Amino acid sequence: MEKLRRENNLHYTTDEIIITNGGKHALFQIFMALVDEGDEVIVPSPYWVSYPDQIRVFGGRPVIIPTTDKTNFKITSAELEATITNKTIAFVLNSPSNPTGAAYHPDELRALAAVCQNKGVYIISDEIYEHIVFDDFSVTSIASLSPQSKQMTIIANGASKCYAMTGWRMGFAAGPAHIINAMSKAQGQSTSNVCSITQAACEEAYGGPQQAIKEMVCAFQERRDHIVAALNRLPGVTCKQPKGAFYVFPNISGLMGRQTSRGPKLNTSQEFCMHLLEEYGVATVPGSAFGCENYFRISYATSLEEIKEGMNRISQLVQDLTKGHF
């Protein structure tokens, strides 16, 4: 409650918050509480890989709104409104985003919130990357925009990203008491409480000095700047500069369908990433995993030295694909 008040200007009571076994667990239980057979949940793409499958587990149908780098990987309120039907139960918002690092400004959030309020659609706000932002960008929780927005929003968050505590498994959700109560009933019959050691560690993380986050973000920004510049120097590749998270999502449509000197033609992002892994030893994730072909995701949650070596190897593949073309 103190964290939400201090950092997000949001005031919740204990019956409006649940502590979960990771942020993924929080999202899973939100969908469990909200989604019935045949309900639709709007998900902009590129999306985090678990959203659609978690919706399907409970009989829901993910309805995808595609975005591209030309729209900065963001949707408009008009697109959202046009996608809502009488079966729509919720809209998933992830800002900053995995895999793109895109983030919404307050005015954009107000427009999206107004549509959801007018249509009676819940907002599931995944805010796990809220503190990993760059260039003086400041994240706004959509729930903080108005009392009405708060009543229509369920926040999912956790310690794994901002405090680098992925293995500790502590997340939380905050929202209307009746939804949190339904989540609590399910959790009580499945995982029960979060490990007591994790609880003590997270109490210190949230309540202690926060300087380490600033230092981590500075390191991430240096890595981001390097990797984006290096990608944009490659023929056939373009990359938007992300506002947050620790991923880049470059456009490789200019490389698709090209033949490698070692034999195979790379027609899809899956084939591109597999060739990059098997022949050059670089692990990335194809855009198709996030519902967006012709892109791939690179994480810069590693050292600058590793990033430089990885980019050298990616450059070798791109040079092989573009010989005689650029």
Query: Residue 285: which of 55, 44, 54, 48 has the closest Cα?
Result: 48
Based on the number of CB atoms within 10 Å of its own CB, is 33 exposed (0-12), middle (13-18) or buried (19 or more)? Answer: buried
Integer Rg of the chain from CA = 20
According to CATH, what is the number of the domain 212-322? Answer: 3.90.1150.10
66 neighbors 45 (Cβ within 8 angstroms): yes
- Give me the tens of pLDDT residue by residue for the chain, a chain 326 residues long: 789 999 999 999 999 999 999 999 999 999 999 999 999 999 999 999 999 999 999 999 999 999 999 999 999 999 999 999 999 999 999 999 999 999 999 999 999 999 999 999 999 999 999 999 999 999 999 999 999 999 999 999 999 999 999 899 999 999 999 999 999 999 999 998 899 999 999 999 999 999 999 999 999 999 999 999 999 999 999 999 999 999 999 999 999 999 999 888 999 999 999 999 999 999 999 999 999 999 999 999 999 999 999 999 999 999 999 985 55
124 neighbors 35 (Cβ within 8 angstroms): no
Spacing of C-alpha 265 from chain mean position: 31
Task: Quote the CA–CA distance of 66 and 209 in Å, as a whole number.
Answer: 40
Residues of the chain with CATH 3.90.1150.10: 212-322
Give me the pLDDT at residue 263, please: 82
H helix runs in 62-105, sequence order: 77-83
CATH architecture of the domain with residue range 2-207 = 3-Layer(aba) Sandwich (3.40)
Q: Which two tokens stand for residue 136?
A: 């003086």
Task: Quote the CA–CA distance of 260 and 317 in Å, as a whole number.
Answer: 8
Residues of the chain with CATH 3.40.640.10: 2-207
